[in-house]
Amino acid sequence: MRAVKLMAAFTSGGVLVFLLISLGVVDRVDGIPGTQEEPVFSLPTYLSFVSVMLTAVTVVLAAVAIGVGVVAAYTFQQLERRAENRVEELVKVRLSDEVIKRRVAEIAFATGNGELEGKDYEDE
């Protein structure tokens, strides 16, 4: 979960930087020597605003999808381990030597509680 939190923090920081740069609030350094101009604050157009917002939504949804995938993989592994442990436990209980010997004695020697005697299975 800590990795998911860190990934969400970095993703949201990246989205914030992208929004600030693409909206013109912060200008990137263009690297051309000799320019002494201050960054210009520009008003974005509606089209650029919508495209930036849709990009931000896409990035956030991708981060959520990755987080859900990580959690799902972790949960699946835990469920698989629990199922394996439960099956091993049931096999030890149901297929132990005492249970098998008692069942053989019930069936072969009719020493059970009378469940084999006097029952008509065709009526059920």
Instruction: Say which residues have a Cβ less than 8 Å from residue 111's Cβ, sequence separation at least 6.
Output: 105
How far apart, in whole angstroms, are the C-alpha atoms of residue 115 and residue 105? 13
Domains of the chain, residue spans: 2-29+39-108
Which of 32-41, 78-87, 92-101 shows the lowest per-residue confidence on average (mean pLDDT)?
32-41
Structural contact between residues 56 and 23, judged by C-beta atoms closer than 8 angstroms: no
How far apart, in whole angstroms, are the C-alpha atoms of residue 80 and residue 86? 10
pTM reported for the whole predicted model? 0.37
Mean per-residue pLDDT of the chain:
76
Please say if the pLDDT value at position 59 is more than 90: yes
Tokens of 78: 């835990």
**What's the confidence (pLDDT) of residue 62?**
94
How far apart, in whole angstroms, are the C-alpha atoms of residue 15 and residue 53? 10
Of 49, 23, 27, 46, which Cα lies nearest the Cα of 38?
27
- Residue 75: what residue type? T
